[in-house]
A and B are shown apart, each in its own frame.
Chain A
Amino acid sequence: MNSLSRSNDANIIRVAQVIVLTSFIVLWEISARTGLTNVTWTSSPFRIADNFWTSLMSGELLNHLRVTLSEALAGLALGAAVGILLGMVLGVSRMVGAIIEPFIMALNCLPRVALGPLIVMYLGIGFASKFALAFSLVVVPMMINVFEGIRSTDPVLVNLLRTVGASRMQVFFKLLLPNCIPWIFSALRVSISFAMIGAIVGEFISARAGIGYMIDTAAGAFNVTGMLMPLIVLMLVTFTFDRLFVMLRNRLLHWRPADQR
């Protein structure tokens, strides 16, 4: 396919996406206004936008968002750092990797959000418990991805590095680490939403602030608009992070043909 028709395709895709989004919003609004749907149950785009504006102006929304984001991003940062480190240790050391592998997989099979009540019991209802929950959700997928990334290294390339006299450190930094980068990024993309889930679930269990707290409070008042608004805001924020990761990845993987990044 030539580049002209490819950029043409990209335009068609963009236009189609805009059409899908606007028609969804317009249909939702129309059905709410005509009484086809009950605004008590499903709210309406206008109500949500209005609620958003009020909450934004009063500073309430940003306050809660800041709390949730700091919990989730701190959990993501430490979870990613520890996960990458563990994944590398396991990937590099055959012995340690083989011993620990079933434990990691078992941990991965544990529904970790269910640890929430326990973590709140241990760490209280403040920042620490949400951070810990986000961390626990992030660390395992990060570790598994990096582990797989290390193990996917072409053995011919390892042999090449060894025959040119590379030390273990050189093999790591010149081969294993760069080889892992695509895996690290796909893990980060999954992990950003895991971190948000961790923070929100922690706030559901018990909290005094945060997006989860906002949703929980609105639910108590039977306020669907008040539940949907913070939910949509959080979705858009998480989506922005995902796009940022994709951009960063494409920049780091610029050596790959565009359709293989």
Chain B
Amino acid sequence: MRRDEGLSLSIRGLSYALRDRSRTMRQILDNVDLSVREGEFVSVVGPSGCGKSTLLNFISHLLPVQQGELEVLGAPVQAFNTKVGYVFQQHALLPWRTVIENTELGLEVKGEGREERRARCREVLAQMGLAGFEDHYPSEISGGMRQRVSLARTLVAEPEFILMDEPFGALDAQTKVLIQEIFLKYWEQHRRSVLFVTHDLGEAIALSDRVVVMSARPGRIIADHVIDLPRPRNGERLRSNPRFIEYHDLLWSALRDEAANAMQVAQ
């Protein structure tokens, strides 16, 4: 199924420190090594504030690399790469654009012709279950629908590598499960490389080929497990699978101490 075994992401020794408000240097990321193979779905879980999102900002070029090596799709990151898609935690829709106008933003910026991009957007929106809502404004649709538009906007540009920053974090439990399923189905058809940041362990296991655990700040990789569950997966049945529960226990034992640490740091 994979086209080849190339690397979509290769990070070696990435560290990042930031001067905080009291002017002391704080280490955010500490010597992170991480790679994503082409067509692989990798999740990063970790306690809040561990630098998961910061990691995505480096990969997308929103933050310049301070220390370490970073290669995306086989080349060092020197500019914004339209082959890399980014799904933000907030839906990040432009409120004055309709659903379809938001979806076509990336293609429009690239200068693709209107008729062609509209046709492609309609197709992806339909796959996201949004047919018939093309001309609605973001204020007229639900939170779950907005997040699906945001997904469609990224997917329609056909990125080779997708970064996702807790994209379903703000949704209620039922909506979240439904959108995960829509996305999973899409992903299992297309198999793009994904780096998925979340604090939801169940979500990470259900979606991923591999789950990586990050420590509390400063963020380090402390566990890395292959999730060997058959695809296509079904979210609901998966959660009662004994292997799912095993993975959950295994990863939770790595995560629990870090979560406790993060809470103490926060207090």
**A residues engaging B (CB < 8 A)?**
154, 156-157, 159-166, 170, 174-175, 178, 181, 253, 255-257
Question: Given the complex of chains A and B, what is the CA–CA distance between A166 and B80 in angstroms?
Answer: 9
1/0 per residue, CB under 8 A from A, across B80-100: the answer is: 111011101010101111100
In this complex, what residue of B is CB-closest to A163? Answer: B86
In this complex, what residue of B is CB-closest to A256? Answer: B139
Interface residues of chain B: helix, strand, loop or mixed (majority): loop
Segment 70-124 of B: residues with Cβ below 8 Å from A: 80-82, 84-86, 88, 90, 92, 94-98, 105-106, 108-110
Q: Which residues of A contact B105 (CB under 8 A)?
A: 160-161, 164, 174
Q: Is the CB of A164 within 8 A of B137?
A: no
B residues contacting the other copy or chain, number (CB 8 A) = 25
Q: Is the CB of B88 within 8 A of A164?
A: no
A159 with B82, Cβ < 8 A, contacts A178-B96, A255-B95 known: no
A164 with B109, Cβ < 8 A, contacts A156-B88, A159-B62, A255-B139 known: yes
Further contacts, 14 of them, CB under 8 A, given A164-B106, A256-B95: A154-B92, A156-B92, A160-B92, A162-B80, A163-B60, A163-B86, A164-B80, A164-B82, A164-B105, A165-B82, A174-B94, A174-B105, A178-B96, A256-B139
Q: Is the CB of A163 within 8 A of B84?
A: yes
- Confirm or deny: B184 has a beta carbon within 8 angstroms of a beta carbon on chain A: no
Interface residues of chain A: helix, strand, loop or mixed (majority): helix
In this complex, what residue of A is CB-closest to B150? Answer: A160
Report B149 CB to chain A, min CB distance, Å.
12
Q: Is the CB of A165 within 8 A of B80?
A: yes
Q: Is the CB of A255 within 8 A of B109?
A: no
Report A109 CB to chain B, min CB distance, Å.
30
Q: Which residues of B contact A181 (CB under 8 A)?
A: 96
Q: Which residues of B contact A174 (CB under 8 A)?
A: 94, 105, 108-109
Q: Which residues of A contact B137 (CB under 8 A)?
A: 255
Report B173 CB to chain A, min CB distance, Å.
24
Question: Given the complex of chains A and B, what is the CA–CA distance between A254 and B97 in angstroms?
Answer: 11
Q: Is the CB of A166 within 8 A of B90?
A: no
